[in-house]
Structures are given as C-alpha cells and as structure tokens.
Structure 1
Amino acid sequence: MQKETGEKKREYRWMKRLLAFVLSFFFTLPVFMLVYPRIPSIEIPVGTGIRLDQMILFMFIFLLLYFLIYSLKKYYLYISITLVLAIGLSHFTGLYSLQRFSADYLSLLTNLEKVSESSKFVTKTVPFTREELLREAIDYNNPELIDFARNIATKHFQEYKALSKDSRWIQYFSIFKEIENKWIYMYDPLYEEFFSKASNTAKQLSYNNKFKGDCDDYSIIIAACIRAVGGEVRLVRTNVLLDDGRTVGHLYPEVKIGDKKDFENVAYLLRNLLFPKEIKNKPLRYFLDNKGEVWLNFDYNDHFPGGRYQSNIRISELKV
C-alpha cells in the first residue's frame, strides 16, 4: 500500500513537472520577444556567427518561469489564465499584437550574414565640398516640402506599419519607392554643378509625374524627405571607376536604421513583404559605423533600399 502511494506521489510530481515545463515553454517565447530588443548583442564569431545573447536570454527566461510556475504549482490554473489574459490584453490594446509577435519571431530567425552585407570601405577624411550649398538645397523645413514628404511617406506599405518596430522605417521605404521609381537621370548644365532644392524637385511631378536630376539632386530630395519625417540621413561622396577607365564623382544617401537587432526586423520586412520581387536573392547592403549603428544604402542603383554601392570608397560624409 505504501509502495503504491509512493509511486502515485512520484507520478504526480512527474506530471506537475511536465505541466510546469509545458507552460514555461509556451510563455517563454512571448516574454523573450519583449525583452530581447532591450539587451546588448553578444555574438561569437564562428561561421556565420553564434548569437549568444539569444541563447542565454531564452534559457534564463525559461528557467525562471519554470521555477516560479513549479513553486506555485497549486495555482497552475490561475497562472495560466493570468498569462493568457496578459497576452490577449496586449494584443487587443495594440501594445504587442499577435501579428507583430509573428513578424518579430520571423525576424529573429533571419540570419543577417546570409541575407545582408556589411560593406567594407576605404574611408578618407576629406572635407565635404560645397557643404553650404548642399545644406541650403536640403530644405527639409520648407512647409511645402514637409507636406510632400508626409504624403509620399504614407503612400505605400501602410498595411505593414504594425509589423515594424519603428513606424518611421515604413515611411522611409515608402519615400524611397516613390522617388526611386519615378526618377529620371538628367545631367547638369555643361561645365556647371547645379543643386536643385528638394522643394523644387518635388514640384516636377506636376509636369509628367516624374522627378528629374543627377545623383546630387536625388540625394538632396531623399535626404530632405527623410529628415522631414523625423529620420537621420547622411550624404556620402565617392569616386566611381567607369568601364572606359575614367573616374567620376558620385553622391548618395544613407539612412540610419538602428543597431543590428533593429536591422533584423528591417531585413525581414524588406525581403519578405516590401520589396520581395526586387530583392529576390540579393544581399541588403549597409554601412556599420564605429558605434554599431546600421546605415542602409538608399542609392538608386537597385530598385530597393540596401542596393549595391557604386564604389567602396568613402571620400567624405555629410550628416544632414
């Protein structure tokens, strides 16, 4: 009799541990997704990189929940109901929807080394030429330009806004799509360098629904629109070697996304939802600065943000 009682107690303890394990595993992932963006990255440079921060955080949350749930085993039902209600409340209030959770989870699975490329550059510290004229042309605080930027920033991809950690990212990509798709390259007057104000370039749509200008004019209007909706952008001067052996100057914009964890979400959005046909199997190209911040290439070489660079030489940079 005592033997049977002991076996039932052991079986009961085993069942309680199994239930605690299942509940802990079920609730670890949503807690992990909420905490993960707030801890620093820890990566072991082996192969394509081992994300130690992900492994440590997941195990810590799981073990902590397991300990708490098993310790309060008399209240399994109440704990489960409370956690389910918390998840439901978060979803219906928009604090953290299930759609956003799904996007964040898929972003987490994104291997940046396989789908992106942190380009290696030869960086020079040459003073930025004609800076004053460029800043004057980037009239992002012009009321008409602000209205224009806000309109094109909300023209595309609004259905994916809830899946983006920062709603401005969707606006940046909408700006890129609207300007790059309608851009016609035009040379400056012979032997002169002309900077068209962003507000003037925007008005060109009234003629034939196209923007016109060279790389300077393109960079100027991209920079102005990004700044007008609260983004950070900089212009980079470089030299490009042509097929005939000549070297010409080039200017292009880069937009600040955030750190590598932010870029995980951006890479998922760009590749799977926003520009899947344009990107296909191509890498997303960006510059990683000395603070660990990702600056995504917004040049017009490809039909998506993060396209190829024309050159790996960075002669000078201008923070707008």
Structure 2
Amino acid sequence: MNNEKNSGDKNYTKNDWQKLWTILEKLIVYGAILCISLPIFIIVHRNLPNVNWKFNLDRIIIFALIVFILWFFVKFVRKIFFVFCLCIIGLLSVGSLTNKYGFASLALDYQAMIHSMKDSNKPQKILINKVAFNSSDALILKAMDFTNPEVRTFALEAINKHFKEYQSDSRYRTTIQCLAIFKEINSRWTYVNDPVGQEYYAKASESIKTLSGDCDDHSILMASCIRAVGGLPRLVYTVGHIYPELYIGDESDLESINFLIKHKLFDKESKGRSLYYHIDQDGKIWLNLDYTAHYPGGPFYNNKVLGVIDVEN
C-alpha cells in the first residue's frame, strides 16, 4: 500500500511540473508573438492612411489581424519558436548582466516605438559635410582646448550632476552624458557681446569660469566639453550666428533618443514640441544644441545654413 501511495505521489508531482512547464511555454510563446506584432503593426500603421474610425477601431482590427497571422504561423513551428525565444531570453539576460543590450534596453526601444506612433520629428534640409574653410575657423578650432584638465573636470561634474540614473544604458551613455553637459551649460549661460569692433574667441577653459560670452564662445565651450568625454560635435554657421550640434547616430537611433529627451531627460522643457536636427549625406543625424534652445533638438535660431565646421580631426 505504501509503495502504491509513494508511486502515486511521484506521478502527481511529475504531472504537476509538466503542467507548469506547459503554462510557462505558452506564456513565453504568446508574449513573444505580442512583442513581434508591435513593431510590425507600427510599420503598417505608418504606411496606411488614417481613416479616423471611432476609437481607432481600424488600428485595433489591424493589430488583432497581425497577432492572429503570427499565432497561426507559430502554431506549426511552436517547438522551434519556443527554443528561439529561450535563446533570445538568454542573450538578453547576459546583456543585462554585462551592462550591454538587455531587458532595460529592449524596454526602452519598445517605449520609443510606441511613442513614435503619435510623435512627429522635424528633419531639416540635408547639409553637405565639407565646406570652404573660413579664416575664423582656425581660431575657433584653436580655442577648443578640450584636453585642458579644467575643461574635462567641468564636463565630468556636469555628467555627475545630471541624468546619472539613465547613464547605465551603454548604447546611449555617451549621448546622455553630452546632454547632461548641454543642460549644465545652457541652464547657466549668460550672453555677453564681444568688445566693440573686435571678434573675440574665448577658449573653453576661459568660458567655464564665468559661463558667459557670445554665440561662438558658447559653441566653443559646448563642443570642447563634448569632445572631452568622447562625444562628436560640429559647429554650424547661419546668418550672423554659430551654434553646436551633436552627432546622435542614424535614423535607427532617432526614435530612442527622441523618447529619452521628451519623456525622460527634458520632459518639461520639450512637452508638446518637436525635435529639430540635420541629416548629412552619410545619413548621420546631428542634434541642435544652440543656447537659444531650451532642450536638445529645440527650434533652430535660423534655418539658413552657410557652412559647417567639422571638429573631429
């Protein structure tokens, strides 16, 4: 009798584990179907006209249809799909533990995709990369003493003061740190004209002491601090004005950066506003960091561009 009871207990335990495994498998498979359906739906959403049905019923039907089609397909390759899902979960787990692309990065990408459905970026006219070298360019580049210890110290203090909680994302850590520098400089900058009849280019190490000067002094300081922490800036000439821009990646990075700026880093300053940037001939995206902008990617002071100073060399 005792042997039969023990045998029954073992069978019950085994069946119990099998049920739990089946439930786990379904949760993973169905969760993966929903995760895959979302980016497909966003692509379809962007390329279909909006018929303005009540409660967005047309979009709900489209999303449900995408989910059904994926579910129908997965039904025939469920075991293979489940193993694939486990591999992805494993890779994301390793990425999270090694501070690379993990679950937090994946969540950011999905938040950015959802946000992009209702948000509209404002790309501007493509700029050429190389322009004629002006006589003042050499003086501006010389004033960018980004290797000066005082310049780097100032940049590091700004980084430690702003947005530290978001800098764990290794993909955009440098960009977020550069935006922390933007926040520190632009929140404290005082515009002061050059001496009458002279064009004075203050070194970055000079400007950090007062956080004052005109547009070229601001641009020199911003670009120098960004270079001091590994970011890539450039300077843009417009009519009677010069301002810095920050390289943030290509169009594949734009949604995530747009989401970070408007919902995490500068949510109050950018609320209800668009992101302004330039795209060069290589597909690189450059974000406006002018002192006239209250947030990174704020409106341009002047849309007419006369030239660009490439400062990476």
In structure 1, the residue matched to 2:229 is 229
Cα distance change, pair 89–28 in 1 and its aligned pair in 2 (3 A): farther
Cα distance change, pair 31–128 in 1 and its aligned pair in 2 (3 A): farther
1:208-251 per-position Cα deviation (integer Å, ceiling 9, x unaligned) = xxx11000100000000011111111111111xxxxxxxxx100
Say whether residues 1:278 and 2:272 are aligned partners: no
In structure 1, the residue matched to 2:105 is 100
The residue correspondences of 1:163-174 to structure 2 (distance < 5 A) are 163=169, 165-174=171-180
Say whether residues 1:70 and 2:79 are aligned partners: yes
Aligned-pair CA distance for 1:170? 1.0
Separation in structure 2 between the aligned mates of residue 306 and residue 28 of structure 1, nearest angstrom = 35
Aligned-pair CA distance for 1:119? 1.7
Separation in structure 1 between the aligned mates of residue 237 and residue 77 of structure 2, nearest angstrom = 56
Native 8 Å contact 2:100 2:170 kept in 1 = no
Native 8 Å contact 2:293 2:299 kept in 1 = yes
In structure 2, the residue matched to 1:120 is 125
Separation in structure 2 between the aligned mates of residue 46 and residue 31 of structure 1, nearest angstrom = 19
Say whether residues 1:111 and 2:102 are aligned partners: no
Cα distance change, pair 215–71 in 1 and its aligned pair in 2 (3 A): closer
Cα distance change, pair 29–195 in 1 and its aligned pair in 2 (3 A): farther
In structure 1, the residue matched to 2:139 is 133
Structure 1 stretches lacking a partner, 5+ long: 1-17, 49-57, 205-210, 240-248
Aligned-pair CA distance for 1:202? 1.0
Supply the AA of the counterpart residue of 1:173: L
Native 8 Å contact 1:164 1:266 kept in 2 = no
The residue correspondences of 1:13-52 to structure 2 (distance < 5 A) are 23-27=28-32
Aligned-pair CA distance for 1:262? 0.8
Supply the AA of the counterpart residue of 2:163: F
Aligned-pair CA distance for 1:89? 4.8
Structure richer in strand, relative to its length: 1
Aligned-pair CA distance for 1:284? 0.7
Aligned-pair CA distance for 1:147? 2.1
Supply the AA of the counterpart residue of 2:308: E
TM-score, scaled relative to structure 2: 0.73
In structure 2, the residue matched to 1:195 is 201
Between 1:132-141 and 1:81-90, the stretch displaced more is: 81-90
Say whether residues 1:178 and 2:178 are aligned partners: no
SS in 1 for 2:175: helix
- RMSD between aligned residues: 3.8
Aligned-pair CA distance for 1:189? 0.2
Separation in structure 1 between the aligned mates of residue 34 and residue 134 of structure 2, nearest angstrom = 48
